[in-house]
Amino acid sequence: MSGLYRRRHTPQEYLLATEPLFIGDWSTPAGECLVVYDTDCRLRALEWRDFEARLQRLLARHWGPEGRGYQLEPSALPAALSRALDAYLEGDMHAVESLHVHTAGTPFQQSVWQALRRIPAGQTMSYGALAAHIGRPAAVRAVGLAVGANPVGIIVPCHRVIGADGSLTGYAGGLLRKRWLLAHEAASAAGR
């Protein structure tokens, strides 16, 4: 993978002290999620439990190998984080907007992920429209790769990106979950 899409770590970065990251469970009607957060309660990753191997790859890509760049410790979710996530499930789409996310993507990835957070709940956007929205209309493929590399699913709502023809395409948690998330958000948005 090219340096544009994958963060390269210098030997000095690997020599830095290991950062503790915590992992907790979050139950949703679409399945169990693993939530990774730091000591400041910033989200580092959110992934479906049955895709734990993907979670480990994303953490290693963003933070270095476990034991060198981070140390993952099981923990219960902090109350504020748990309340916001549960409120989202109860239909309050704004509850997760204030959650802080801290990822180590490239500047391009960061711009895509920030744009994802601006897509309103209950709405979708095509990869092409997202590329145009960030001022890079010719970078549709690169936008797709950045969306796929998003380590904080649901909160950074990559599920809101669809194909140009309106079809549901690519979602790391599977298309059934993508369909459920979109239906949940549409119903909650319509109920306001």
Indicate which residues carry an active-site annotation: 158
Distance CA 163, CA 127 (A): 6
Among the listed residues 3, 2, 5, 1, the one whose alpha carbon sits nearest the alpha carbon of residue 111: 5
Rg (CA), the chain: 16
Tokens for 33?
């999620």
